[in-house]
């Protein structure tokens, strides 16, 4: 007999794996997600699959469409604009609250993520370092609800990064924006760091969404 705890654990595992497929682009926008197929793949009942869908919907990675079932969420111009505006607003709030608490150890973690992004040889390495950089910037704010919202927005941003890499290719590059943000924080110029961060995030609005 499967217990509630086992269903919860299984649902989390399914949500994580399906989420990774959506973010990487292995599952394309508007792709159908069939409960029976996923239950068969993970050797589970439909109960944890439905719970996994609810988790993915809360992360804005899937949508439930009347008469069409659960599908991978779209990634279009409106989605990109929404992601950029929400991240620009919320991440700046988090940074303003985190900046006074940044210790030399915090700044070293931010710098390490920056260096790892500079040295990345694959899009997967770059995106992991990029997420680490943005998380390290704001983690000291100690505002768990805000950080949870930013984690979800960062997942949405990662989808865009992978989509652009598939469309236009990717090559290693130096991220000057990140370097300038770190420099402003080292100088305790919080206003400048926040302004640079907002500008950096808003650049994704100018990206063209590849046709799926």
176-209 pLDDT, tens digit each = 999 999 999 999 999 999 999 999 998 876 655 5
Buried b (16+ CB within 10 A) or exposed e, 119-150: ebeebeebbbbbbbbbbbbbbbbebeebbebb
Count of structural domains, the chain: 2
> Does 129 reside within a domain?
yes
pTM above threshold 0.75: yes
CA 12 to chain centre: 17
pLDDT per residue as tens digits for the range 26-38: 999 999 999 999 9
Q: How far apart are CA 211 and CA 202, in angstroms?
A: 21
Q: Are residues 60 and 112 in the same domain?
A: no
Same domain, 88 and 145: yes
CA distance 152 to 118: 24
End position of a domain, from candidates 35, 53, 72: 72
């Amino acid at each position: 007999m499967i217990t509630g705890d086992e269903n919860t654990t299984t649902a989390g595992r399914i949500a994580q794996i399906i989420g990774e497929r959506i973010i990487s682009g292995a599952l394309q926008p508007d792709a159908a997600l069939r409960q029976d197929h996923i239950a068969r793949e993970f050797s589970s009942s439909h109960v944890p699959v439905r719970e996994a869908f609810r988790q993915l919907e809360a992360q804005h990675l899937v949508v439930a469409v009347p008469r069409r079932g659960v599908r991978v969420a779209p990634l279009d111009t409106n989605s990109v604009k929404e992601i950029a505006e929400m991240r620009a607003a919320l991440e700046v709030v988090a940074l303003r609250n985190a900046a006074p608490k940044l210790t030399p150890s915090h700044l070293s973690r931010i710098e390490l993520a920056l260096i790892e992004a500079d040295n990345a040889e694959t899009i997967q390495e770059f995106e992991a370092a990029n997420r680490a950089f943005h998380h390290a910037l704001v983690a000291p704010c100690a505002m768990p609800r805000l950080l949870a919202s930013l984690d979800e927005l960062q997942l949405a941003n990662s989808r865009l990064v992978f989509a652009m890499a598939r469309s236009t290719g990717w090559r290693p590059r130096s991220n000057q924006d990140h370097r300038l943000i770190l420099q402003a924080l080292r100088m305790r110029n919080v206003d400048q760091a926040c302004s640079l961060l907002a500008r950096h995030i808003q650049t994704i609005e100018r990206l063209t969404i590849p046709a799926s």
